[in-house]
Structure 1
Amino acid sequence: MYRFIVNSKQIETSEDKKLLDFLRDDLRLTSVKDGCSEGACGTCMVLVDGRAMKTCVLKTSKVEGKNIITVEGISDKERDAYAWAFSEAGAVQCGFCIPGMVISAKGLLDKNLNPTKKEVKKALNGNVCRCTGYAKIEEAILMVAKILREDIEVPKVECKGLVGQNMHRVDAKDKTLGTGEYVGDLYVDGMLYGSAFRTKYPRALVKSIDISKAVNHPGVECIVLAKDIPGKRNLGHIIQDWPALIAEGEETRYIGDSLALVAATSKKVLKEALELIKVEYEELNAITSPEMAMKEDAPKIHPNGNILKKEVLSRGNVDEIIAKSKYVVTKKYSTPFTEHAFLEPESALSMPDENGVIIYTGSQGIYDEQREVSDLLGIEPEKVRVISKYVGGGFGGKEDMSVQHHAALLAYLTKKPVKVTLTRQESINIHPKRHATEMEFTTACDENGKLTAMKATIIADTGAYASLGGPVLQRLCTHAAGPYNYQNTHVEGTAVYTNNPPAGAFRGFGVTQSAFATECNLNLLAKMVGISQWEIRYKNAILPGQVLANGQIADETTALKETLEAVKEEYDKHEYVGVSCAFKNSGIGVGLPDIGRCILSVIDGKVHIRTSAACIGQGMGTVTTQVVCETTGLTPDVIIVDSPDTAKTPNSGTTTASRQTVFTGEATRLAALKLKKALNSKSLYELNEQDFYAEYSGITDCMGSDKPNPKSHIAYGYATQVVVLDEKGNVTKVLAAHDVGKAINPKNVEGQIEGGVVMGLGYALTENFILENGIPKSKFGTLGLLRAPKVPKIQPIVIENSKENLAYGAKGVGEIVVIPTAPAVQGAYYKLDGKFRTKLPLENTAYKK
């Protein structure tokens, strides 16, 4: 028997188990999050005898006689202080890491109520945040220290919720204190635990699957094979090429392929059952690079071959112009796969419901899941209800099916609730990554540095399945020339299947790769011309009314030059400094349906905002609240943001392409105008049970349109970032000037910029997803994620240049923030040591030898 104290209560248990599992599964303490279970992320942090410790590396036997405190057990004054400070500072985005941050902060402040910023950073070294960039978390902790040190009252929150105000996020308090629910926090009576048996090999013939021992193991409720699937077996966003289960006699395509599903009464039984499944394989040579896949004699990974998609975009007479240009640069570039590393591993809970299923999920698009699960089960979409809980980060990595379809299939067949949660290593192995690319870019300019032409060849490793590889390739190509005023371009892009993990959506959606190449070429041209990196960009920056290299006319909100002007003084101050520009679309564009929808439902004097737009940390609920308040004059206290739910909220599309603030924000504004008109003659109580619906559809032109100036996307954001190095090559400061149109919530926008810059620094300097023969060798702790002590000062500069009515002028900012950072770092190192680096992460730096 082990005895210890948890939040002032004496606890006894006879089971020696992982403390994390005991606190979560037995005591149901939801502030203790399971982010990695390997001691690397800090989401499961608690105080043990006053010391911040990770519960995933402790067992109940190791805390015998000790005093444990979780966020649930801190004092009321502290709870109020942390909830206010983290809200006020804008320190909460997806929120999954925040309770662990609170515990690390308390461990520090219990000993030192007047810490320096350096001491705060050091206290957070065991905690990873993938959203915020840490700065606002550090600011919040210093706010809490002041409140506790000076014993002052926690300030009251007063905000009208208008557009442009720093309104507290509507979910910040729940996320800070750990009371907000993610799917992993859900438990229901009779719940089974599910998981998949996955292949050992990236490419192998599955000769037989023997489940005889596993199916008879006590506590095993159900084992499902490919032949048991009642509907369509192949799933996918656009191309349905991804089997929910691989059948006997078929080849596996990557290490994440599932061969069988198991549902069991406990985690322990589930693990034992999976170990009892025996599979006979014939291992085959894996195709682990596009070069291998494109050989004439290469085995076909899919029936139609190994080429997923080709794109050719051409404007002007490129070869002739390049031949006549004064300066020409041709360079080859390599960028790696990158792991999203969101803090919340994928989880879904599904329950049977009247010939269908209910799925609780945490993803980027509930209607995508409804469609794909209904196909899998062979039932009408209306019989699949999908409800989103909080989403612990996404960055594109939660657009594809991961666990939702497996949980739903098991629940549908067993007629019992089933929860499927990936381990962190499963998550790393399975979900799509950022595409690895090989690129050759040629860029030309005249004697004064005016750009004349460019041509590019891009090969993208799309891995085993299509995912969103086709659209990512399109963005790679459509943005390849950068946000500059020249018209002669030729881009050829190819996405190639391999036996590597799939590649799909990742923050920046392909533009991170092509921008690295095109911006680095500009650094060389600037040196050849004899002008600065800043000047060559300023000479060529697109202006309103000019034509982008993809043919679209830049609209009047275009503010690239303003972003360049905002960083010039800082750029001129330093010797070892790099600069980079970027542009990025808001909305799916290229002629595809792109619709935001919103219902405002009046219930008992409150306005319920109903939209399926997933909040993955960007603060969508807060954005829509402020849009409603601005439009109607109502105050935030009468606004409720309902969770995305296919039974209640209209289809607002996937949270992708920096689209939701623009598209669903505009739909919300239009619905609010209808509500405002109704309020002219009636009160909210008189409008009880009335709905106000609106939608906004963005009309664009398809790829390859023969229009002289096709409209590729509804809007573009523009950005310039400056990176400063010291003489040892350490990044000391980053300026990030972003044209956001209109900041609905400026502090939220700053947080997006800070988090994106840190992600971009990781992409440039430290992060790498290691594959050996198609098998991931990275763990969460070895991905190279930057932690608080290593993050330099980041100065966001928000440029607002829009007076449009569309979503009050807002442009998406979620994706563009990560794009300019890596080439700016490359440019800074080029000035530091004269070495021109062409591969990410950059080699021979202070961060990577």
Structure 2
Amino acid sequence: MKLSINGETVDAVAAPGQSLRTFLRDRAHFEVKKGCDTGDCGACSVLLDGVPVHSCLYPAGRAEGAAVTTVAGLGRDGDLSPLQQRFVDAAGFQCGFCTPGMIVTASTLDADELDALPRMLSGNLCRCTGYRAIEDAVRGTHRRVGEPREPDPATSRAAAARACGRVGTSHPAPASTRIVSGQEPYTLDIAVPGLLHLAVLASPHAHARITRIDTRAAAALPGVHAVLTHVDSPATLYSSARHESRLDDPDDSLVLDDVVRFRGQRVAAVVADTVAIAEQACALIAVDYDELPAVFDPRAALAPGAALVHGDKDAATSRLADPRRNLVAEMHGEHGDLAAGLAEATTVVTGTWQTQRVAHVQLETHATIGWIEDGRLVLRTATQVPFLVHKEICRIFALEPAKVRVFAARVGGGFGGKQEILTEDIVTLAVLTTGRPVQYEFTRTDEMTISPVRHPFEVTVTLGATQDGRLTALGLEVLSDTGAYGNHGPGVMYHGCSESVSLYAVPHKRVDARCVYTNNPPSGAFRGYGLGQVIFGIESALDELARRLGISPFDLRRLNSIGPTDPLVVTEVEGADLIIGSYGLDQCLDLAEAALTRGNGVEAPAGPQWRVGAGMASAMIATMPPRGHFSQASIRLDPAGTYTLGIGTVEFGNGTTTVHAQIAATALNTTADRVHIRQSDTDVADYDTGAYGSAGITVAGKAVLAAATALIEQLQLTAAARTGLPAESWTPEPTGLRSGSVFLPLTELAGATGLEAKGAEDGAVRSLAFNVHAFRVAVDTQTGEVRILQSIQAADAGVVMNPEQCRGQIEGGVAQAIGTSLYEEIVLDGAGTVTTRVLRSYHVPQLADVPVTEIYFASTTDSLGPYGAKSMSESTYNPVAPALANAVRDAIGVRPFELPMSRDRIWRLLQL
């Protein structure tokens, strides 16, 4: 057939049944993304004769004679289109994976259709931004975000600092132009000669032992290169979870196991010329199973006689609390005497709150391409932790570290879901077996059914207080369902019970928490890492206490929250690694309360069925993970007079690449466009624990600052040696160093080989960030609909490094949390089968669902963060659900105890 692609005539043959998306990508149009292949996300949108279509649903053969335009074809003569430029100016993306499709759809809208923008963009999902920046870009209404902290006290220098991209200004991401034109490569946006494809045979049983597996028919299928089973698997136990210390997680997994513990677990893998052949071969594998007893309720899993999920594991070797009781980990401790504290109270509140499974729904699914190059294994993978993947792959397969390279291109979202080994291990086995390049890509259904989800928690809170509102007792009981494997289970449990409890200065506290195996699909790391689940219970209970005492919920928190000099106590005093480097909670409470009091002019819908209420909640989080988080950076002055920054941190929408360039530019007194970044590759950086726990600024950023500072010192010494002028007299300028009237250009200082300096940060001491969220809502008592009238978040981010970007991180976290609060739930049938298997049955917030959130920043300077900054990627998510639940309680007079607060659940509450 003949068609036009971005103005060029193409004469090609489409495979039978091939979609337009794969047809385009087969011809290296990698700007056309895959987010679902079911027409639900819009990442693959292209124009077909000027009309936007989801190319994953459009048969390629029907494009005969058509003009196809991708995002790469919207500009002219190498320039961006006006719309693409507006996406750059408004920071209308974070990970950027949805951006090509979003821009394609938006490019067809005329002025009249902008009034119906939420409907017109309903077919394009974004998981990162919260949509405000996207709407600004489409409408052309973007205004620069106010910059709360200038990098220099002389405000006359502010414009120059902004142009240079210094810390404190809203500098655009270095990859902006490539992202909005579709030219920024993600994991699979590469053509690999001789590439084979891997497909997995999934278990139909929740718990079974494989007694026979016959692969002969599959292996004989033309185009099949290998069939892998547990016989081929390394015998080394590991955890798919990745932390700096691998001992944080239980060793309970194998690449391929002869026992399956949840529906969908790998049974075998086929490597073939195409995905279709591999899937066809999987269907030819004959497997006999001996079904084993299964357990799906975490409380039942603890009962005597319950089916054992990992009863074959040694507790010490696998680091399990008690595999004979399905107990992965437990935490029990008391500060003071809870019973005595309750006896002192005049009012006691107790309740049990339930949180659900939530999918990450990052638009780029998990994927890895592996190959052998110069005798080395190379893995190009969608990961937040390339160095940790490198270490564990070497351990599992007994490979020399020098013989393995792991790297990530830009990653299309993560939210904790890519802090796992989910595709890298099986691809490694396939590459080592075949010697050929192999690719394995999750489908969206894989993401919904076998990729780890947020841990469902049962949280029981007991609070005691005196009549004046002073807390005397806080009791917490937590039951966490980690599913069939313990990845992240202990860490999520411990972390969830940490800052959520230590935020309040209560003389008597007790925590009892358990993390339990079931035969449900695995749970894992998710934004907030357990805090969101526990904060939902504690902040809801505090709201109920305030009501009973007749005290403002803001005042109750002012009275009981820790102060800047108070000790941090869970059940024992926290160690010196966790300090209050700056304190902005008081400001956050004031800012949120003031905004809620003055309102925003949005009225409730007309009608007697609508009831209005308001609610708030607080949250505190450490600015980096515990027990060490390491990063090493290098900065090189190149002979051309520009800088090359080497850093291991991955960019997946967290914005660290932008901030790292700003940190380096500020320290070196140069412009951000002169700093070129090489990152997320075990070959270009010495080490980085990974992009999780909001450590991109507070750990990796400090390593960048240390390296830049060391390079300045080298340059000063070099200048001093050449001129005899004192080293300390030399001041860096954008293109050189100056001492009085003497100027030495960087090209001269670099010489023929350049200069390099390194810096490191170990994250040994951690600070704390604070967030307060408030809502005003209207609830329809006839249908249970919750409509958000006003959304407010006040954040203590320390010195805000990039105001536009930080605002976007907060908005994105709030939007994701609104989804958790009102819509999203991975539903199981009671026997371990996931029924929400595609995006259309799982309500990810669309533009129409997300209000504009008012963002207010406290004015603090942190003693630990680079230039006084704190993290702000995770923390924004945590107070949203309880604040919204408290607002619903205020409106209808009945408290929600379960997430999500869907219409049917709210309606049922109204019938009580």
- TM bracket, shorter-chain basis: over 0.9
1:490 aligned to 2:510?
A: yes
Change in CA separation of 1:679 and 1:690 when aligned onto 2, cut-off 3 Å: closer
Structure 1 residue 379 displacement after superposition: 1.1
The amino acid across from 1:367 in the alignment is: F
Q: How many residues align?
A: 819
1:642 aligned to 2:678?
A: yes
Q: Work out the CA distance in 1 between the residues paired with 2:759 and 2:598.
A: 50
The amino acid across from 1:716 in the alignment is: L
The amino acid across from 1:678 in the alignment is: Q
Decide which of 478, 502, 506 is 1:458's aligned counterpart: 478
- For structure 1, the 5+ residue unaligned runs are 147-155, 701-713
Q: Work out the CA distance in 2 between the residues paired with 1:597 and 1:416.
A: 33
Aligned match of 2:740: none
Change in CA separation of 1:761 and 1:803 when aligned onto 2, cut-off 3 Å: closer
Structure 1 residue 331 displacement after superposition: 0.2
Structure 1 residue 316 displacement after superposition: 1.4
SS at match of 2:454: coil
Aligned match of 1:614: 650
Contact 2:813-2:877 within 8 A present in 1 as well: yes
1:222 aligned to 2:226?
A: yes
Structure 1 residue 80 displacement after superposition: 4.2
Deviations 1:351-403 (A, max 9, x none): 11344300111211001111121123221122110011111100000111111
Alignment of 1:549-560 (within 5 A): 549-550=569-570, 551-552=573-574, 555=580, 557-560=582-585
SS at match of 1:628: helix
Q: Work out the CA distance in 1 between the residues paired with 2:614 and 2:141.
A: 35
Aligned match of 1:419: 439
1:327 aligned to 2:385?
A: no
The amino acid across from 1:717 in the alignment is: A
The amino acid across from 1:4 in the alignment is: L
Aligned match of 1:207: 211
Change in CA separation of 1:502 and 1:684 when aligned onto 2, cut-off 3 Å: farther
Q: Work out the CA distance in 2 between the residues paired with 1:145 and 1:397.
A: 32
Q: Work out the CA distance in 2 between the residues paired with 1:432 and 1:177.
A: 32
Aligned match of 2:91: 90
Structure 1 residue 158 displacement after superposition: 6.9
Q: Work out the CA distance in 2 between the residues paired with 1:314 and 1:80.
A: 61
Alignment of 1:253-332 (within 5 A): 253-302=261-310, 303=313, 304=315, 305=323, 306-332=326-352
SS at match of 2:628: coil
Stretches of 4+ aligned residues off by more than 6 angstroms: 845-849
Return 613-622 or 573-582, whichever deviates more: 573-582
Decide which of 777, 791, 811 is 1:754's aligned counterpart: 811
Change in CA separation of 1:684 and 1:287 when aligned onto 2, cut-off 3 Å: farther
Contact 2:450-2:521 within 8 A present in 1 as well: yes
Alignment of 1:771-786 (within 5 A): 771-772=828-829, 773-778=831-836, 779-786=838-845
Decide which of 422, 435, 440 is 1:402's aligned counterpart: 422
Aligned match of 2:722: none
The amino acid across from 2:531 in the alignment is: V
Contact 1:482-1:519 within 8 A present in 2 as well: no
Return 367-376 or 73-82, whichever deviates more: 73-82
Aligned match of 2:758: 693
Decide which of 637, 660, 663 is 1:602's aligned counterpart: 637
Contact 1:18-1:57 within 8 A present in 2 as well: no
Contact 2:166-2:672 within 8 A present in 1 as well: no
Q: Work out the CA distance in 1 between the residues paired with 2:68 and 2:361.
A: 28
Decide which of 764, 767, 773 is 1:721's aligned counterpart: 773
Aligned match of 1:711: none
SS at match of 1:364: coil
Decide which of 344, 363, 377 is 2:364's aligned counterpart: 344
Aligned match of 2:256: 246
Contact 1:433-1:503 within 8 A present in 2 as well: yes
Structure 1 residue 16 displacement after superposition: 3.3
Deviations 1:563-588 (A, max 9, x none): 01001123234651111110011111
Structure 1 length normalisation: TM-score?
0.93
Structure 1 residue 619 displacement after superposition: 0.9
Aligned match of 1:7: 6
Aligned match of 2:735: none
Contact 1:479-1:514 within 8 A present in 2 as well: no
Aligned match of 1:142: 139
Contact 2:129-2:809 within 8 A present in 1 as well: yes
Q: Work out the CA distance in 1 between the residues paired with 2:567 and 2:237.
A: 45
Contact 1:246-1:252 within 8 A present in 2 as well: no
Deviations 1:320-344 (A, max 9, x none): 0111101110101111111111000
Structure 1 residue 775 displacement after superposition: 1.5
Change in CA separation of 1:284 and 1:229 when aligned onto 2, cut-off 3 Å: closer
- For structure 2, the 5+ residue unaligned runs are 144-159, 316-322, 600-611, 720-744, 781-785
SS at match of 1:527: helix
Deviations 1:80-131 (A, max 9, x none): 43443222212121110000110111121xxx14654x43322211011110
Return 647-656 or 625-634, whichever deviates more: 647-656
SS at match of 2:501: coil
Contact 1:197-1:258 within 8 A present in 2 as well: yes
Contact 1:441-1:518 within 8 A present in 2 as well: yes
Deviations 1:6-39 (A, max 9, x none): 2223344253333344334322211110001111
Change in CA separation of 1:267 and 1:671 when aligned onto 2, cut-off 3 Å: same
The amino acid across from 1:191 in the alignment is: L
Contact 2:500-2:619 within 8 A present in 1 as well: no
Contact 1:458-1:492 within 8 A present in 2 as well: yes
Contact 1:347-1:422 within 8 A present in 2 as well: yes
Return 487-496 or 254-263, whichever deviates more: 254-263
Aligned match of 1:739: 796
The amino acid across from 1:740 in the alignment is: A
Q: Work out the CA distance in 2 between the residues paired with 1:453 and 1:174.
A: 55
Aligned match of 2:706: 670
Change in CA separation of 1:334 and 1:97 when aligned onto 2, cut-off 3 Å: same
Q: Work out the CA distance in 2 between the residues paired with 1:405 and 1:690.
A: 38
Change in CA separation of 1:287 and 1:845 when aligned onto 2, cut-off 3 Å: closer
Decide which of 193, 199, 202 is 2:197's aligned counterpart: 193
Contact 2:347-2:464 within 8 A present in 1 as well: yes
Deviations 1:746-801 (A, max 9, x none): 11110000000011111111111111211211122222111001211211112230
Deviations 1:58-98 (A, max 9, x none): 11233334332111221328724344322221212111000
Q: Work out the CA distance in 2 between the residues paired with 1:400 and 1:25.
A: 27
Contact 2:383-2:419 within 8 A present in 1 as well: yes
Aligned match of 2:38: 38
SS at match of 1:462: strand
Aligned match of 1:124: 121
Contact 2:255-2:425 within 8 A present in 1 as well: no
Q: Work out the CA distance in 1 between the residues paired with 2:875 and 2:893.
A: 28
Structure 1 residue 226 displacement after superposition: 2.2
Structure 1 residue 817 displacement after superposition: 0.6
Change in CA separation of 1:465 and 1:209 when aligned onto 2, cut-off 3 Å: same
Alignment of 1:101-180 (within 5 A): 101-108=102-109, 112-113=110-111, 116=114, 118-143=115-140, 159-180=163-184
Structure 1 residue 740 displacement after superposition: 0.4
Q: Work out the CA distance in 1 between the residues paired with 2:480 and 2:112.
A: 50
Return 491-500 or 172-181, whichever deviates more: 172-181
SS at match of 1:395: coil
Contact 1:487-1:548 within 8 A present in 2 as well: no
Aligned match of 1:152: none
Return 230-239 or 606-615, whichever deviates more: 230-239
Q: Work out the CA distance in 2 between the residues paired with 1:6 and 1:542.
A: 61
SS at match of 2:107: helix
Aligned match of 1:704: none
Return 136-145 or 448-457, whichever deviates more: 136-145
